[in-house]
């Protein structure tokens, strides 16, 4: 069965439209006897609606919050937008739409908040996203930044939301087969230019490539 990575619905849309190239996760200091590992390098993008705080999406992308509701299907109709973006408890959709999949092309370990700010052209969140959503404190623990190449599948697929898909875990195993096929949201040339700019920002900040540092991430 295919594996999917859970992320806010508005983020999934941004990835599927080529407006975002990164995802960020908080980590812990590496241990010699328990190295980080990347659980999956290729996965479908599963939109979630839990605690999606509209104030953590930058102003230029606020109009996309309404469109993000299209990623779910509610039997009683869409919830009010103000409820969706406030982070308040929200009735989960009966089904969600899978529109895209992604593969990890690089990952980086960051401890400097200034580097997170410098990467802001490549995500739709506000600069304090890592601090507010992830509870991250630069310098005390690493932040793991994954560079994603995203592909839109030929036709969106609607999957039923199961109880085991809920909770804080990052991964879900979908109960139906889906092929890893489709069109990249950015051309090869566009993606390569953006990737090199991201790597340059990381290098200039003196941060580490996860592959170079031998620290696979995101268990």
Q: 10-26 pLDDT, tens per residue?
A: 999 999 999 999 998 87
Structure tokens at 213: 């540092």
Residue 116 lies in a domain: yes
Structure tokens at 201: 């920002």
> What CATH number has the domain bearing residue 114?
2.30.130.30
Q: What is the pTM of this model?
A: 0.88
Distance separating alpha carbons of residues 35 and 171, to the nearest angstrom: 19
Model confidence over 151-177: pLDDT tens digits? Answer: 999 999 999 998 888 877 889 999 888
Query: Assign residue 192 a region: left if phi > 0, alpha if psi is -120 to 50, beta otherwise?
Result: alpha
Report CA torsion sign: 196, 202, 208, 214: negative
Number of domains, the chain: 1
CA-based nearest residue to 87, from 126, 48, 143, 46 = 48
Residue 218 lies in a domain: no
What average pLDDT does the segment 111-135 reach? 87
The answer to whether 141 and 29 have CB atoms below 8 angstroms apart is yes
The C-alpha torsion from 68 through 74 and 77 to 79, rounded to 10°, is -50
Model confidence over 13-72: pLDDT tens digits? Answer: 999 999 999 998 876 555 444 555 678 999 999 999 877 677 888 888 888 888 888 899
**What range does the domain containing 47 cover?**
3-213
Query: What does each C-alpha distance from 149 to 8, 124, 185, 207 come to in angstroms?
Result: 18, 16, 8, 21
Residue 151 lies in a domain: yes
DSSP state of 189: H
| Alpha helical stretches, state H, the chain | 9-16, 64-68, 81-86, 113-118, 129-134, 188-204, 210-213
The answer to whether 65 and 84 have CB atoms below 8 angstroms apart is yes
SS3 (DSSP) at 170:
coil
DSSP annotation string for 107-142: EEEE--HHHHHHTGGG-SB-TTHHHHHH---TTTS-
Residue 126 lies in a domain: yes
């Amino acid at each position: 069965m295919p594996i999917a990575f859970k992320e806010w619905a508005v983020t999934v849309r941004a990835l599927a439209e080529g407006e975002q190239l990164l995802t960020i996760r908080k980590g812990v200091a590496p241990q010699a006897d328990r190295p980080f590992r990347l659980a999956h390098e290729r996965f479908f993008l599963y939109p979630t609606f839990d605690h999606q705080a509209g104030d953590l999406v930058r102003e230029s992308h606020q109009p996309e919050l309404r469109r993000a509701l299209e990623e779910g299907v509610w039997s009683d109709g869409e919830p009010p937008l103000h409820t969706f973006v406030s982070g308040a408890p929200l009735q989960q959709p009966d089904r969600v739409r899978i529109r895209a999949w992604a593969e990890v092309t690089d990952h980086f370990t960051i401890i400097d908040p200034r580097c997170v700010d410098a990467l802001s052209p490549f995500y739709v969140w506000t600069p304090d996203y890592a601090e507010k959503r992830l509870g991250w404190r630069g310098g005390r623990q690493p932040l793991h930044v994954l560079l994603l190449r995203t592909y839109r599948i030929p036709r969106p697929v609607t999957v039923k939301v199961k109880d085991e898909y809920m909770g804080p875990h990052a991964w879900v195993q979908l109960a139906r087969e889906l092929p890893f096929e489709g069109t990249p949201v950015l051309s090869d040339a566009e993606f390569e230019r953006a990737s090199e700019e991201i790597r340059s920002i990381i290098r200039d900040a003196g941060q580490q490539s996860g592959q170079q540092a031998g620290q696979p991430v995101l268990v």
